[in-house]
Amino acid sequence: MVLYAAYGTNLDPEQMAGWAPRSPLWGTGWLEGWRLTFGGESGPWGGALATIVEDGRASVFVSLYDVPECDESHVDTCAGAGFGLYRRLRVRASTLLEGETAAWTHVLDDYEGGLPSALYLAMLADAAEKAGAPAFYADDLRSRPCTSARP
């Protein structure tokens, strides 16, 4: 079984239920050796978009979903992979109970850099809280620099 690792606004369980209605939450964990960052520019969001990059000193909180084949293409489309914004990547997620497990996720197919909008950053922090991320993680998201541009 290869799980889907959600790390952006798709940490929100309600959002994922819409993206993949037949995909149960399997658990939460961390992508060790990865860092949440932002890149590209998004007209609709008014700033850079969330992505992950390798960084041996960092980790990213994720929700892990068991996504059946019938939901995969819809997850790809909703995440922006269907439009060429993101591409799939295989990663290893660390969980408290299961240890390491294989997962797939999406990474931005663009440069790293740029600031997210304040609205987008707030949505990321809220989604992380809804998914059960530790308070320090959501607080760190809220403290990041952002643009006040409105989407």
List the alpha helices (DSSP H) in the chain.
13-19, 69-79, 118-130, 135-142
Is 137 known to sit in a ligand binding site? no
Select from 92, 93, 73 the least CA-distant residue to 83.
73
Phi, psi angle pair for 25, to nearest 5°:
-65, 130
Cα 116 to Cα 129: distance, rounded to the nearest angstrom: 18
> What residues form the annotated binding site?
120
> What residues form the annotated binding site for substrate?
120
